[in-house]
């Protein structure tokens, strides 16, 4: 985790224990804060995953914002029980969807690492904007709506797997279907719904300098995202297909440098080969030791 993100995490441990609408306030731990906006959404509670936008400044100078490390998407924060005096969690549990507040945290109260250019008396001003509570069921419904629109726009005939991967066969293969434990050899190109390509085993412009070669992985062993295990396992050798993965079968809430949180993913794939597990060599039992003579 990089320096700015470490500061961000440190600041998260020093938040509020109560929230009201407007005015200067103080948390039980002694941190001054002001509520800019009081939301009207659902009350948060321990166990919720909350999507938030977070900004931090040293006095008036911007240090970091969560949008820079999450491709503009809100970052997920799991609300847990407080473990220490300066803990964020009790405060987060008192917020609602739509709340926005800024907290002025004395630099001397922050754990290391601190900004190297900060001096005694400075304040780390952290603004938290609660966007929404995360619901896997709600997210899946939103993903399915997007997938329906995408398949209609691109004239794709799709068949969902039992796990929820949408498969559009382009060229039907005539070979066998992989079984759990088989190693598959696959060419692929991955992209977002807007067409932006984020990875490929066949396009050298995506990762210049990287050797182009198919991906190999054993089916059902958790070496790849869930949607890949399920989607590739549904194909026969030689098949070319488009796999459309709801976000929960892709990277979910966790963004990557090129994939925002909760992204539906589209993969053009070709199942090139299926390799059966190598049988373990037979083990010959060692002869029993002779009985000791009496």
Catalytic residue numbers read: 188, 198-199, 225, 251, 267
Q: Which residues in 136-151 are b (16+ Cβ under 10 Å) and which e?
A: eeebeeebeebbeebb
- Give CA–CA dist 212/138, Å, rounded: 38
The token pair at 98 is 């739509």
Which are the contacts of 266, defined by CB distance < 8 A and separation ≥ 6? 150, 190, 191, 192, 193, 242, 243, 244, 245
Residues 6+ apart with CB under 8 A from 153: none
Could you write out the DSSP letters of every residue in 178-241? P-TTPEEEEEEEEEETTS-EEEESS-TTTSTTSPP--EEEETTSSSS-HHHHHHHHTSPTT-EE
CB 189 within 8 A of CB 203: yes
Round the CA-based radius of gyration of the chain to a whole number and report it.
26
Q: Are strands 100-106 and 240-245 parallel, antiparallel or unpaired?
A: unpaired
Give the span between the Cα atoms of 119 and 68, in whole angstroms: 25
Q: Angle at CA 210, nearest 5°, toward 208 and 214?
A: 125
Token output for 258: 């090129």
């Amino acid at each position: 985790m990089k320096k700015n993100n470490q500061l961000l995490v440190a600041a998260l441990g020093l938040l509020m224990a109560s929230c009201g609408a407007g005015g200067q306030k103080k948390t039980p731990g002694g941190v001054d804060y002001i509520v800019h906006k009081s939301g009207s959404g659902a009350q948060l509670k321990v166990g919720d995953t909350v999507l938030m936008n977070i900004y931090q400044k040293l006095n008036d100078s911007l240090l970091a914002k969560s949008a820079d490390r999450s491709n503009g998407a809100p970052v997920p924060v799991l609300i847990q029980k407080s473990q220490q005096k300066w803990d964020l969690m009790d405060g987060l549990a008192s917020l609602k969807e739509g709340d926005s507040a800024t907290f002025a945290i004395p630099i001397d109260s922050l754990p290391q690492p601190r900004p190297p250019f900060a001096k005694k008396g400075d304040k780390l001003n952290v603004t938290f904007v609660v966007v929404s509570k995360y619901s896997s069921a709600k997210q899946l419904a939103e993903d399915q709506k997007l997938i329906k629109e995408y398949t209609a726009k691109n004239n794709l005939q799709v068949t969902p797997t039992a796990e929820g991967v949408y498969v559009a066969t382009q060229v039907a293969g005539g070979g066998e279907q992989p079984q759990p434990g088989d190693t598959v050899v696959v060419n692929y190109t991955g992209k977002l719904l807007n067409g932006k390509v984020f990875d490929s085993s066949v396009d050298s412009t995506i990762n210049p300098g990287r050797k182009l070669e198919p991906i190999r992985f054993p089916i059902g062993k958790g070496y790849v995202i869930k949607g890949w295990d399920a989607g590739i396992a549904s194909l026969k050798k030689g098949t070319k297909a488009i796999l459309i993965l709801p976000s929960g079968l892709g990277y979910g809430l966790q963004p990557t440098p090129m994939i925002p949180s909760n992204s539906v993913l589209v993969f053009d794939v070709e199942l090139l080969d299926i390799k059966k597990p190598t049988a373990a060599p037979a083990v010959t039992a060692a002869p029993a030791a002779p009985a000791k003579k009496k």
